[in-house]
Homo-oligomer: A and B are copies of this chain.
Amino acid sequence: MLAKIHVTLKKGVLDPQGKAVHHALNDLGYPEVEGVQIGKYMEIRLAGVTSDEAEKRVQEMCEKLLANTVIESYRYTLESTE
């Protein structure tokens, strides 16, 4: 099983990194860039769990460790790797 997880900043939370990259792109000659948001992307390989279990446990991992839910939100998808 492969979990693909996106962790992004919640709306309204300052994204200094996105801001810096936005400016850099504008300066580099990409005036069309109007906004940049930077988050994390994780792939987690899981073995020996059913997809229902995986569903529940990946959500738990996100809550507990992978996302800082005070300022970040997350979403994920599960894929079979058979």
Chain A: residues with CB nearer than 8 A to chain B? 6-8, 18, 21, 24-25, 28, 30, 32-49, 54, 57, 61, 64-66
Contact = CB atoms under 8 A, between A and B. Distances in A.
Given A34-B45, A36-B43, A65 B25 contact: yes
Given A28-B61, A39-B40, 11 more contacts: A24-B65, A25-B44, A32-B46, A32-B47, A32-B48, A32-B49, A33-B45, A35-B43, A36-B43, A39-B43, A40-B40
Contacts of A47: 32, 34
| A6, A7, A43, A48 — most chain B CB neighbours (10 Å) | A43
B44 A36 contact: yes
